[in-house]
């Protein structure tokens, strides 16, 4: 089963991107695979690493638009989206990710995400607290970090919604749409999520995700999984309590200090309140 691999990149870390492309080129995969990079980086640099089709990114092109551009250019029916910080763990990752498509009812598959401990340990303490949930291994319902899709299903779903989602929310929107079309599979195919961050960057991400969730709840209503939790978290003070009660304390060293968790949760809560309702009212994610 041949595949088209799309890498939507925005100011990528060249060292990490190089590792990803090399690992993709080493995959034990008998069928044909093409690599399409949607980016503004140097063609010479990319072509040095692997045979890849480079598509110049338009200015301010959102993530959904970038992925759609790649999907429409893809020549194969199975499309794999790999973000610029997702490094396949093993040489048979691609084979495992694509295997479930032998079942005609499967429309998408998702990789298991692993945040390497050595990367997490390099975060500043506030960033560690904000990313505690991501520490270790988890499997998302469906996102673009390292997922595969049946191109026909994406087309039937109307492609990724670039009108209402710019940098967050389009993945969950697609999850809801694809669940109506067919089955989503979760094979044991892992990637290292190599996303270095710091407090300021992570807070910006919190704003994006909050606005995206607000837009999702407005668009899908009760069809959105745990929509009610989003509304409660966006309720002043009530949401702060939820952040505190659901915090994964077991993943954090006590050296990080409970008082820090309290005030960081308060800041996170107010960012959530502001941006959830912004996304909900405007029915859009724009940050």
79 φ, ψ to 5°? -115, 125
Q: Is 165 exposed, middle or buried (0-12, 13-18, 19+ CB in 10 A)?
A: buried
For the chain, give percent helix, strand, coil, nearest 5.
Answer: 50, 20, 35
Under 8 Å between Cβ of 174 and 254: no
Helix segments in 26-138, DSSP class H: 43-49, 63-73, 93-98, 117-120, 125-130
The pLDDT assigned to 52 comes to 54
CA distance 12 to 41: 8
**Would you say the C-alpha torsion 280, 281, 286, 287 has a positive or negative sign?**
negative
Q: What tokens appear for 142 in the block?
A: 């469906």
pLDDT by position in tens, the chain (length 287): 899 999 988 878 888 988 999 999 999 998 999 998 887 554 434 444 445 555 555 555 688 988 998 999 999 999 999 999 999 999 999 999 999 999 999 999 999 999 999 999 999 989 999 999 999 999 999 988 999 999 999 999 999 999 999 889 999 999 999 999 999 999 999 999 998 899 999 999 999 999 999 999 999 999 998 999 999 999 999 999 999 999 998 888 766 667 788 999 999 999 999 999 999 999 999 98
Global pTM value: 0.89
Under 8 Å between Cβ of 2 and 76: yes
The pLDDT assigned to 185 comes to 97
CA distance 10 to 8: 7
The pLDDT assigned to 39 comes to 74
**How many C-beta atoms surround the C-beta of residue 79 within 10 A?**
24
Under 8 Å between Cβ of 212 and 168: yes
The pLDDT assigned to 101 comes to 97
Rg (CA), the chain: 19
**Ramachandran sector of residue 18 (left: φ over 0; alpha: ψ -120 to 50; beta: rest):** alpha
CA distance 209 to 133: 14
The pLDDT assigned to 249 comes to 87
CA distance 54 to 39: 7
Strands of the sheet containing 33-39, edge to edge, are 53-56, 33-39, 3-8, 78-82, 146-150, 106-110, 183-185
Q: Which domains are seen in the chain, by residue range?
A: 1-197 (3.90.550.10), 199-287 (no CATH)
The pLDDT assigned to 45 comes to 41
The pLDDT assigned to 47 comes to 45
Residues 6+ apart with CB under 8 A from 270: none
């Amino acid at each position: 089963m041949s595949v088209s691999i799309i890498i939507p990149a925005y100011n990528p870390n060249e060292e990490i991107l190089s590792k990803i492309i090399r690992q993709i080129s080493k995959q034990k995969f008998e069928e044909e695979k093409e690599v399409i990079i949607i980016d503004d980086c140097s063609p010479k640099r990319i072509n040095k690493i692997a045979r890849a089709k480079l598509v110049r990114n338009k200015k301010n092109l959102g993530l959904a638009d970038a992925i759609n551009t790649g999907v429409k250019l893809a020549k194969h029916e199975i499309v794999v989206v790999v973000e610029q910080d997702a490094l396949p763990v093993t040489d048979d990752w691609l084979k495992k990710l694509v295997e479930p498509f032998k079942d005609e009812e499967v429309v998408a598959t998702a990789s298991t995400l692993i945040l390497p401990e050595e990367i997490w340990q390099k975060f500043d303490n506030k960033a560690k607290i904000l990313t505690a949930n991501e520490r270790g291994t988890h499997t998302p319902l469906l996102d673009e970090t390292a997922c595969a899709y049946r191109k026909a299903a994406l087309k039937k779903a109307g492609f990724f919604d670039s009108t209402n989602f710019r940098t967050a929310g389009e993945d969950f929107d697609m999850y809801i749409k694809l669940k109506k079309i067919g089955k989503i599979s979760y094979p044991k195919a892992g990637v290292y999520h190599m996303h270095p961050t710091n407090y300021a960057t992570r807070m910006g991400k919190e704003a994006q995700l909050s606005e995206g969730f607000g837009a999702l709840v407005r668009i899908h209503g009760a069809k959105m999984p745990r929509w009610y939790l989003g509304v409660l978290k966006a309720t002043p003070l009530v949401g702060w309590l939820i952040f505190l009660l659901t915090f994964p304390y077991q993943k954090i060293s006590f050296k990080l200090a409970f008082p820090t968790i309290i005030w960081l949760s308060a800041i996170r809560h107010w960012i959530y309140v502001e941006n959830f309702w912004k996304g909900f009212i405007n029915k859009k994610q724009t940050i």
